[in-house]
Amino acid sequence: MQLKMYLVRYTNSLQVTLRLSLLFIATYLEMPSSYMCKGSFYYKERDYRMEVATMKRKILAVLLAGAFVVAAAGCGKKDRSEATQIKEHNDAGGEIAEIDIDALVGGNSAQSYEATEAYESQAEDFNTEEYNRIEENGFVKVADAPLSTFAADVDTGSYCNLRRLIRDGWSLDNVKSAIRTEEMINYFDYKVDSAEDVFSVQYSVGECPWNAQNKLLVMTMQANAEMNVPNEGNNFVFLVDSSGSMNSQDKLPLVKESFKLLAQNLGPKDRVSIVTYAGNSDTLLKGSDDYEDICKALDKIDAYGGTNGSGGIEAAYKCAQENFVKNGNNRVIIASDGDMNLGITSQSGLVDLIKEKKESGVFLTVLGYGTGNYSDANMESLADAGNGNYFYIDSLEEAERVLCEKMMQTTVTVAKDVKFQVEFNPAEVAEYRQIGYENRQMSASDFNDDKKDGGEIGAGAQVTVCYEIVPAGAGKDEGGLKYQDTTLSDQAASGELCTVSVRYKAPDSDESSKIEYPLIDKGVTKREDFNFVCGVIETSMVLRDSAYKGTATLDSAYQLAKSGTDNNRYREEFCELLKKLGSDS
């Protein structure tokens, strides 16, 4: 039995090593990695001129590959979890936590060694996806910290990524950081009564389903779609990752079709440039308004070589500056799997680069594609740091939703550096816990500091914010704030639950404006929306194994979400995903 286990492990390790070696050769020679096919490989017809330098590179690559194979003998005894893992980054720059993929695909290493076939099947999954670590928000006493301050976030990437994982049959027990609750909530639309102000607000206060002793505040804020924002045309730069890792149907081919959809919706004042990056960056098109030219340029893109993402970013922003439209919408739209292995490769280095580029007045949209080596950590961080938004595209239908149906929300910023500050009334609230937005938290003093970055909101886009609240009778007198000062006791006794302050800047301004919304507990105003949000929150808490999930289960989450579908196909789809999760668990 021990001999069998050893042979299986050794054989699998050798297979993985050979695949890595072939991938190395493909990258080194700038060949499409997909042409390394299960035991044999072949070249796509391409003009590879066999110069002396190229031959030297081939010899060196083969020698290195041989070294990899020899090294496999020393790896045969290692557990598969060392080769196949999901990496979870610490936002604070700490160590990377490695998570065994066996738990994700429902496997069991000990059982897998019992059957060679089963083990080899699992070995094909070879995943190294990356996510930033999330430390869940806890309860805060109003007497200690009456202010909750955070940056706006309209990203939806986490939900679509979760949808992909569920559809692919993954068990999500150990992928807590793949789930960002606010992005799951914000994927869906909610009913908001329109107003002439910059933002319209709709909110409900109801019983917390997973903890009946508490209340739940659900507030949706929507940017006015008719805001008078000058737009002399769109200057879009499509930045396409054309490295070898993009050579699969859910990556580069889907990227091309996605951008063609967007190009179909462009107006006479709009211009498109196309920049690609692999080992090097290449500008294929500059400032074109011709749909056929855009499609031809996209069709020419092939996937091969390494991934110099930083070089591509430099080239894309340079192109955006060269075609900059004053009083226009200037935006880089990056499409990638987030895997960066050349140039600047660290997450902190990429963030520093994109922070520098955002000062140019060019906004950013980040579109994530693919599976296996997907780096959600890089993609989300780029969007957060670069005056941008982040979406995950798992199908052409999702591309149409993001780039066509919601084109204005996705590509036209009407309010930048948007920050929220919620002051809770201790006469009504003893404790609060913000649900989600863990990586968007700010200090209270940052709210009034215009140098501190917030989030960007597009025309008609919505931001939904939720708090679990522990009710109280009367609170401490802290002084200096609206409800805390004893001289303002009338306001503290007004019945106001809290006051939501919003600070934002116009897209072309560096000076912020502030608006306030006092909220009173008037119960649930939009029952379907409230129930559905509760279902999404419960799902997130169960999958993340939240310490605050209370009585929440996938079944209760399904019942809540189902009662709030409101004949919306996206909500119905969410319920179907919950049914699949329930049947697989």
Quote the tokens at residue 100: 């065994």
Any domain includes 369: yes
pLDDT at site 114:
32
Quote the tokens at residue 488: 């303002």
Q: Give the residue among 369, 443, 377, 457 at the shortest CA–CA distance from 412.
A: 457
CA distances from 194 to 121, 200, 201, 225 (A): 54, 6, 8, 10
CA gap 397, 93 in Å, rounded: 36
How does DSSP classify residue 451? T
Query: Do 452 and 382 fall into the same domain?
Result: no
Quote the tokens at residue 309: 């993402």
Last residue of a domain, one of 525, 546, 574: 525
Q: Lowest-confidence range among 87-91, 460-464, 480-484, 561-565? A: 87-91
Any domain includes 296: yes
The stretch 485-508 carries a mean pLDDT of 79
Sheet with 97-100, edge to edge strand ranges? 97-100, 85-89, 130-132
Q: Give the residue among 474, 486, 479, 464 at the shortest CA–CA distance from 425.
A: 474
CB 384 within 8 A of CB 395: no
Any domain includes 540: no
Q: What are the φ/ψ torsions at residue 458 (nearest 5 degrees)?
A: -85, 170
CATH of the domain at 293: 3.40.50.410
CA gap 429, 148 in Å, rounded: 13
pLDDT tens digit sequence for 383-413 = 988 889 999 999 999 999 999 999 999 999 9
pLDDT band with cut points at 50, 70 and 90 for residue 89 = low
Query: Do 271 and 387 fall into the same domain?
Result: yes
CB 27 within 8 A of CB 305: yes
pLDDT value at 318 more than 80: yes
pLDDT tens digit sequence for 411-445 = 999 999 999 999 999 999 999 999 999 999 999 99
Any domain includes 575: no
pLDDT at site 583:
67
CA gap 292, 288 in Å, rounded: 10
- CA 513 to mean position of chain CA atoms: 28
pLDDT at site 38:
29
CB 466 within 8 A of CB 537: yes
Query: Do 93 and 179 fall into the same domain?
Result: no
**How many domains does the chain contain in total?**
4
CATH of the domain at 506: 2.60.40.1230
pLDDT at site 417:
95
- Tokens 């200090």 appear where? 443
DSSP reduced 3-state for 156: coil
> Of 40-49, 103-112, 362-371, which has the strongest mean pLDDT?
362-371
CB 535 within 8 A of CB 254: no
Dihedral, 36, 41, 45, 48 alpha carbons, nearest 10:
80
CB 491 within 8 A of CB 518: no
Identity at 514, one-letter amino acid code:
K
Query: Do 249 and 398 fall into the same domain?
Result: yes
Beta carbons within 8 Å of 34's beta carbon, 6+ residues apart? 244, 247, 248, 303
pLDDT value at 115 more than 80: no
- The residue segments making up the domain with residue 106 are 81-128
Task: Find residue 222's DSSP bridge partners.
Answer: 200, 462
CB 529 within 8 A of CB 564: yes
pLDDT band with cut points at 50, 70 and 90 for residue 372 = confident
Quote the tokens at residue 499: 């006051």
Any domain includes 579: no
pLDDT tens digit sequence for 544-584 = 999 999 999 999 999 999 999 989 999 999 999 999 887 66
Any domain includes 583: no
pLDDT at site 135:
92
pTM: 0.78
Q: Give the residue among 563, 492, 498 at the shortest CA–CA distance from 526.
A: 563
Neighbours of 579 (CB within 10 A): 13
Query: Do 154 and 252 fall into the same domain?
Result: no
pLDDT at site 169:
80
pLDDT band with cut points at 50, 70 and 90 for residue 341 = confident
What share of the chain in percent tops pLDDT 70?
A: 72
CA gap 310, 279 in Å, rounded: 11
Q: Exposed/middle/buried for 356, CB within 10 Å: 0-12, 13-18, 19+?
A: middle
Query: Do 19 and 124 fall into the same domain?
Result: no
pLDDT at site 144:
96
Stretch (H or E) spanning 497 = strand 496-505
Query: Do 271 and 207 fall into the same domain?
Result: no
Task: Find residue 238's DSSP bridge partners.
Answer: 274, 333
Neighbours of 511 (CB within 10 A): 7
**What angle do helix axes 569-584 and 527-543 make, rounded to 10 degrees?**
30
Q: Give the residue among 197, 208, 158 at the shortest CA–CA distance from 180.
A: 158
Last residue of a domain, one of 405, 434, 449: 405
Task: Find residue 130's DSSP bridge partners.
Answer: 87, 375
pLDDT at site 30:
42
Neighbours of 268 (CB within 10 A): 6
The mean pLDDT value of the chain amounts to: 80
Identity at 264, one-letter amino acid code:
Q
CA gap 185, 574 in Å, rounded: 11
- CA 138 to mean position of chain CA atoms: 22
pLDDT at site 392:
97
Query: Do 370 and 430 fall into the same domain?
Result: no
CB 379 within 8 A of CB 387: no
Query: Do 323 and 370 fall into the same domain?
Result: yes
Query: Do 219 and 261 fall into the same domain?
Result: no
CA gap 328, 427 in Å, rounded: 48
pLDDT band with cut points at 50, 70 and 90 for residue 351 = confident
pLDDT at site 103:
40
CA gap 575, 563 in Å, rounded: 10
Query: Do 147 and 213 fall into the same domain?
Result: yes
Neighbours of 157 (CB within 10 A): 22
pLDDT at site 92:
42
Q: Side-chain half-sphere of 520: how many Cα atoms within 13 Å? A: 6
Last residue of a domain, one of 525, 548, 571: 525
Any domain includes 101: yes
Any domain includes 568: no
Q: How far apart, in Å, do the first and last CA atoms of the chain sit?
A: 31
pLDDT at site 310:
85
Quote the tokens at residue 540: 């997130």
Query: Do 355 and 418 fall into the same domain?
Result: no
pLDDT value at 173 more than 90: no
